[in-house]
Structures are given as C-alpha cells and as structure tokens.
Structure 1
Amino acid sequence: MDDFCNSSMRFFADQQLCYADILPPHEVRARIQVAVLNFLKILNSPNPAISNLPLVNRKLSNSRVSQGMFTDVSWIFLSHSFCTRSLTRANASKAFIRVWKVMEMCLQILLQEKRVTQRELFYKLLCDSPDYFSSQLQVNRTIQDVVALLRCSRYSLGIMASSRGLVAGRLLLQEPNQEVVDCSACGSSGYTISGDLHLLENLLMKTDARYIIVVEKHAIFQRLAEDRIFNHIPSILITAKGYPDIATRFLLHRMNWAFPDLPILALVDWNPAGLAILCTYKFGSIGMGLEAYKYACNVMWLGLRGDDLQLIPEQSLAPLKPRDLQIAKSLISSKILQENYREELALMVERGQRAEIEALFFHGYDYLGKFIEKKIVQGNYI
C-alpha cells in the first residue's frame, strides 16, 4: 500500500497542492502503465496483498481556497488527504474494479486517438461490464476517481465535456481553418459552445465589449439576446442553462484571460442555488477540486440581490424549499464564501424566501435590460 501510494505521489511529489492538468496522450498512457505495473508488483511481491487505490479525497473537509497573490482570482483546491477504493471491503470492491475498467477503456480511447462523451463511455461500459456499471452516476464518479489517481484532467483521458453552453453578443470567434463567427448575429439561440476543450483552447477571439454577463437561465439569456442588450450595453452574454458545465466554464476562463479588463458580472436568481452557481463560476467546485483551478474567474454578483427585492411584488416571492436550505447549509460551512455573500445568504434564510429573475418582468418585458444597465452604470455589483 505504502509503495503504491508513494509511487502515485511521485507525479507531483514537489507540489503542495493536489491538482490535475491537461496532459498529452503519451504522458497519460505512461501514468496508466505505471499504475498497472505498481499493482502487479504488489501482487508478485514475496508477501502478496491486494492493494488499496489511494485517491485524493474530494470531500468538503479536504478543500482549501487559494487566494490569488497578483490577481483577484481565487479557487478551490484539494490538499494531500486520501481516501481509498479497496478490493477487500465489500462496500468498495466494485468501485475498486470500476477504476481499472475505466482506465482500461481510457487507454484504448487514447491509443485509437479518439474522444468520447461520458454518455458514450457509459454505454460502452454498460455493454462490456454490466455487473459493474449500471448507471451514468457510477461512470461519472469513477472518472473522477481516475482523475484523482492519475492527476490528469478528464479531457486528457480522452473524455469530452458535454456542453449545454451558449454565447451571444459582441464576440468574434474563429475555429482553426474555419470562417469567423459573429456571435451578435446568432439570434436568440446564440452560438453553441463545443465540448471539445482542445478546440476551445485554440479559438481566436476578438471583442469590443466592455462587460461579460454570465446568465444563470436559458430563458433569460434568450430574452437578453432577443432584445440585443449587447447593443445598448457593449457586452458578451454566456449561459450554461443552469449549473455550469466544464466547457462553458473553460470558455469563460479563456475569455477572462484573453480580455482581462472586462468585468464578469453574474445574473442569477436570489436563492441559494443561484449563489451556488455563481460560486462555481467564481471558485470552481469541490467535486472537481483537482481541476477547479483551470476554470476559476473573478465573477462578480450583479443581481438579483437583497437590495433588488423592493422591485419585486410580494406575491412573486416563493418560500425556500428543503433543497434550498440544504444548499444554504453547505455554502455557509464553506470556506470560500466572502462576507457580503454570507450576508445575502443569511438574509435569504432569515426571510425564508426566494426570488427569480423573471419576477422583474412585472415592470414589462423590456425592463430587464434597463435593470442591468442601471446597476452597471452605478457600479452596483459585488
């Protein structure tokens, strides 16, 4: 166990933080082969034993927050605390085997120079190993186990991000050897963000925008794009249609680096889920702690916030749901939440209410653009 753990740790033995990066296929293949050789070494030793797999612990208790020294960007990372997948424990033996099954499949994908989605991988594993894979969730968790063991990103394993994201507004995009796409001419449907991170990495981007506006909801994104708000407020609109997927976060991160002077402003519901979505863009997520640093951006909270409730009719406010309270409890216990965000969250819990962006339509369907413009002019974002 110690030999295997020490060998696994040599990948980043000189690092204080645990993280996963995008690596070339040959290095990922080498790491898989090292893991296999270490496992065989243990089995062939004079006192053979079934090894545990030492995986970086992806629980809240193992998370830390890195404060940027030269930028405003902070992000979540995981420290050197381990959990295990063991063949000798009944409740973990299948999870132990799943790790090897997924690594085997990823090695085949890399050797064939292919890329697959998590959904494609699930059906392949379901057919090949039905005794071990019966749900998409099992595959998703096992992929994160492999990331935690090999310390490389999912993309490096040949697994593409499934993207729900859209972008619209004052942004010109050009894929290699393709024509330029004007995102302001894509209508209310916007430009679909690819799940191919390599393609996103190589996009050429130009803009004359002054702001990037992250929109929680697809319907609100469509309304703003339909109203062409980016003509009144020179801006780029981006949405992941709810909780952000990797590809949308990756593109936002790229835009943040390409256009460092553009403030990134988030428009989310006034409820714990809306704040959790904002924090995912801003800091990354615990579950993806090894990759979170790759997608963190200095996102600021435009609205809705507590001081906007005066604009919303009382009958439009809804009571917090049990799920809201669960999210609020998790956020409050987190080390990432800054004080003014904690105050907003405390107000939600104290009032026991939530407000959705759509409630602003009480003032007319064209009011949302005026609301955003006023807040930006006043610098009313945190």
Structure 2
Amino acid sequence: MEDLCNSSMRFFSDQHLCFADIIPPSEVRARIEVAVLNFLRILTSPAPAISDLPLINRKSSNRRVSQGLLTEVSWIFLSHSFCTRSLMRANAAKAFIRVWKVMEMCFQILVQEKRVTQRELFYKLLCDSPDYFTSQLQVNRTIQDVVALLRCSRFSLGIMASSRGLVAGRLLLQEPNEEVVDCSACGSSGHAISGDLNLLEKLILKTDARYIIVVEKHAIFQRLAEDRIFNQIPSILITAKGYPDIATRFLLHRLSRAFPDLPILALVDWNPAGLAILCTFKFGSIGMGLEAYRYACNVKWLGLRGNDLQLIPEQSMVPLKQRDLQIATSLMSSEFLQENYREELAVMVQLGQRVEIEALYFHGYGYLGKYIAKKIVQANYI
C-alpha cells in the first residue's frame, strides 16, 4: 500500500520542481485529471485508503532567498519541504475538501475558456459550498494550496489578478492588434494596469525613459503625474496604491525585462510599512513563494531615507504605531533584509518616529520633482 501511495502522487512529489510556472490550460486540466484518477485508484485499491495531498510548505521556516550569480535580482523561494492536507485529521479535513472544490471550479473555468478574479471565485464557492467556504481568506489560501499541489501559477488556473495599479510617463503600450496608448497623455489619473497577466506579457512596450520610479502612494503618483515630472526626469511612473498587487508587480517585472538598463527606483514613506512595500517589489512575498521569481525586480531605495530627516520639520514626524513595530519585528527577522536597510529600520524603531512623503510639501507642492532629481544625482544613477 505504501508503494502505491508513493507512486500515485509521484507526479506532485518531484522535489526538483519547487516553483510554479505558467502552463497551457490543457496541461492544467491534465494535472487535475491525474490528481483525481490517482485519488480514485487509491480509494478503490485492494487496500483502500484516502491519500494525503502533499503541498510545498509555505511557512516562513521553509523560505529562502536566491543568491543571484548572473543577475542582481534576488527573490524569495520555497525549498523542498512538504506539508499535507489530510481528510483523516479533524483539523485538516475541511482544508482537504476545499482543495478539491477549488480544483473542480478551476477545471470548469478552463473548460469554458473563462477567467475569474479571486473575489468572483469566492462568491461562486460561497453559493455552491457554503459549509466549506465562509471567507475570502479561505479561498485565497486554498488557491495557494492548489498552486502548491499542481505547481502551476494562479493565472494558469484561470484566476485573474485584481489590479489597483496605474502607470504614467514616457511609455507606449500596445496590445496586439490594438491602438497604441501613450501613458504620458493619460493625465494625473494614469493608465490602469490590466489584471490579465497574459495580456501584460503580450504588450508591445516602447520608451525613451531613463528611470522607472515606483511610487508607494496614489496621491504622490497623482502629484508627480500632474507636474509631469517625466518631462523633467525622463521616467516611467508606476504605483500599486499601497501594498503591491500581483498585476502591478508583474508589469514592473515585465518592464525590467524589456528595459534591463533602466534603474528601478522606489519612493516610499520612511516607516516599516514603506520598507515592507519596497521589499515586496524587490524580493516577492512569502505567500507567493512558488511564483515569486516571476515578480521580483532589482528595485533600489530612492527615498525617503534617514538622511532626508533634515529636510523634514519636526512637527511632521508621527509616532510609530503598534502595527509599525510588528512590521519592523517581522522585517528584522527576515534573512533577505540587506544590512543598510536593517540599519535604517533600526533608526526608525530607535527614534520611534515615522515620516510620510507628504512631509516634503513643507518646501512647496512643486518640491517633489526637485527632491527626486537631487536623490538620483546623489545616488550616481546618472
């Protein structure tokens, strides 16, 4: 029986395949069919049993950081440690069933040649299986279970990313057989980033920019786009309006591949959350461990930095909140945090203060462009 169990799930246990890639719908459907057939074979064998589902362990203890030899880009990945979902353990039984329910839904989506968002999938599952799905978080975690089982990306499962992201500046975008979009002519609202990763991959991109500037906050992005900073500093502006969504990270990664010589510079608040956002763009996230390599970029921290505090009036500094301290503790325990980032984080905690980008408006609403230009010169990016 043990040999049967081992061989039946061998497809999912190749420890050399510790990543998820984009594969065609037909192959995803085949992998789901293999999982179902193996499950039924074990269930109907002379010594019937219910097999566990072996998943790549997504806990922080299984997290590693790549050490790039041929590139400056590093990213979070998951090593070859497995956990299981089992119907035979009371605390895991519902999670085991959720995996099969989500795989069933994804199979139907692929057969119908559709794409759905995680939110749409949640409401469908809430209606079809209310005893097993009561929250969006359960759906999100189960999707990651299916990714960890089938070793294919969420996009391959027919799940489309919800995007909050915007792009502006010296960038021409063209979907196949569509008109060219000039991102410098989109006003302060910018151009909305599609959640369709397949479309983003197929975009024809052209630019004469010299920099890509990642902006943490929507309001700052609007100010820079309104001031048309990309005419003063030839640049592409991109924002995810806070913590980065997958589509925005994917487009940034796509830009980094299309224009590898353009420095990617991040403008974030001087607080632990700003640094966490920068690190997510730079390394990926533990929740996306199997796919992180697809979204990581060599992002450099332009500002705000500790040496900018002299520009900030004391009354603009705000005490760190408990949430800030929790984020700082999490970052400090991460092996991927480079030493100069660690030093800045320690200064934040020691001072007990945080500073938002808007504090630079003390010098006038038009000061941001001058600040960015000055930081670029100081950092020797020109």
Summarize the Cα distance change of 1:5–1:133 in structure 2 as closer, same or farther, 3 Å threshold: farther
Q: After TM superposition, list the pairs within 5 Å mapping 1:137-286 onto structure 2.
A: 137-286=137-286
> 1:302·1:380 contact (CA, 8 Å) conserved in 2?
no
Superposed CA deviations along residues 58-110 of structure 1, whole A, max 9, x for unmatched, are 11110011111111001110011112211122221111100000000000000
- 1:287 corresponds to which residue? 287
- 2:14 corresponds to which residue? 13
The CA deviation at 1:273 is: 0.8
> 2:164·2:248 contact (CA, 8 Å) conserved in 1?
yes
The CA deviation at 1:5 is: 5.8
Q: Larger deviation: 231-240 or 61-70?
A: 61-70
Summarize the Cα distance change of 1:86–1:232 in structure 2 as closer, same or farther, 3 Å threshold: same
> 2:118·2:159 contact (CA, 8 Å) conserved in 1?
yes
Summarize the Cα distance change of 1:12–1:168 in structure 2 as closer, same or farther, 3 Å threshold: farther
State the one-letter code of the partner of 2:144.
Answer: Q
Summarize the Cα distance change of 1:235–1:5 in structure 2 as closer, same or farther, 3 Å threshold: farther
> 1:8·1:150 contact (CA, 8 Å) conserved in 2?
no
> 1:188·1:223 contact (CA, 8 Å) conserved in 2?
yes
> What SS does the aligned partner of 1:74 have?
coil
The CA deviation at 1:3 is: 5.0
Superposed CA deviations along residues 332-368 of structure 1, whole A, max 9, x for unmatched, are 1111111111111111111111111111111111111
CA distance in 2, matches of 1:9, 1:78: 19
> What SS does the aligned partner of 2:205 have?
strand
The CA deviation at 1:192 is: 0.3
Summarize the Cα distance change of 1:6–1:279 in structure 2 as closer, same or farther, 3 Å threshold: farther
- 1:305 corresponds to which residue? 305
CA distance in 2, matches of 1:355, 1:3: 59
Superposed CA deviations along residues 26-81 of structure 1, whole A, max 9, x for unmatched, are 11011101111111122112222222211111111100111111110011100111
CA distance in 1, matches of 2:294, 2:5: 28
- 1:103 corresponds to which residue? 103
State the one-letter code of the partner of 2:202.
Answer: N
Report % sequence identity: 83
- 2:361 corresponds to which residue? 361
Summarize the Cα distance change of 1:324–1:289 in structure 2 as closer, same or farther, 3 Å threshold: same
> What SS does the aligned partner of 1:238 have?
strand
CA distance in 1, matches of 2:109, 2:276: 34
CA distance in 2, matches of 1:321, 1:4: 50
> What SS does the aligned partner of 1:67 have?
coil
CA distance in 2, matches of 1:7, 1:244: 38
What value does the CA root-mean-square deviation take over the aligned residues? 1.4
- 2:121 corresponds to which residue? 121
Residue 54 (structure 2) pairs with residue 54 (structure 1)? yes
| Moved >3 Å (runs of 4+) | 1-12
State the one-letter code of the partner of 1:221.
Answer: F
> What SS does the aligned partner of 1:237 have?
strand
Q: Larger deviation: 159-168 or 45-54?
A: 45-54
The alignment covers a number of residue pairs equal to 380
CA distance in 2, matches of 1:380, 1:349: 29
> What SS does the aligned partner of 1:132 have?
coil
The answer for unaligned runs of 5 or more in structure 2 is none
State the one-letter code of the partner of 1:62.
Answer: N
> What SS does the aligned partner of 1:73 have?
coil
The CA deviation at 1:321 is: 1.1
State the one-letter code of the partner of 1:275.
Answer: L
- What is the TM-score of this pair, normalised by structure 2? 0.97
- What is the TM-score of this pair, normalised by structure 1? 0.97
The answer for unaligned runs of 5 or more in structure 1 is none
CA distance in 1, matches of 2:8, 2:274: 41
Summarize the Cα distance change of 1:7–1:223 in structure 2 as closer, same or farther, 3 Å threshold: farther
